A = this chain, B = another copy of it.
Amino acid sequence: MDAEAQRAVVAAARVGHLATVTPDGRPHVVPCCFALEEGRIWTAVDHKPKRSLRLQRLANVRANPRASLLVDHYEEDWTRLWWVRVDGTAEVLEGGSERDWALAALAAKYAQYRDAPPEGPVIALAAERWRAWTAREPSLGS
C-alpha cells in the first residue's frame, strides 16, 4: 500500500483506534471518530456530561504526547486483511482556531456531528510516521 493509498483509506475510515500511554506507563486504547487533513488527525470529546470532560485519553496526552491512530480491516478471508497506523505527537485543544477547524472537518465527515456538535476538547495528532500492513504484501516488524 503506497503512501497515497494509506492516506486515502485513513481519511475515509469511519472509525479508528487511538492509543496513548497513561501517566503511570500503561497502554490505553479507545475507538474514535476522527478527521484527517494535511497530516493532522482530529478527534473530539463529544459527550455532554460535565464529568466526561475529565477523560483518561486527555490526561494521557497531556502527560505523554505520543499517540497512535490505527485504521484496519477485518474479514474472514485473511488474505484480505490490512491496517494502517499513524504515529505522532498529540496535543489537547481546549479552544481556538484549530479546534474550530477540526470541528468543521468532523462535521463535514460525520452527519452525526452536524446534529450534535462536540462540546469538549479536541485531540490533534500530528502524523509523523505512517506504517501499513497488508496480508498480501507483508511488511514486518509490528
Contact = CB atoms under 8 A, between A and B. Distances in A.
Q: Which size bracket describes the interface of A in this complex?
A: 35 or more
B49 A140 contact: yes
Copies of chain A in the complex: 2
A19 B14 contact: no
Interface in A64-93: 64, 66-68, 70, 72, 74, 76, 78, 81, 83, 85, 87
Interface of A: 14-15, 17, 19-21, 25-31, 47, 49, 51-52, 54-57, 64, 66-68, 70, 72, 74, 76, 78, 81, 83, 85, 87, 112, 138, 140-142
B138 A29 contact: no
A55 B78 CA distance: 19
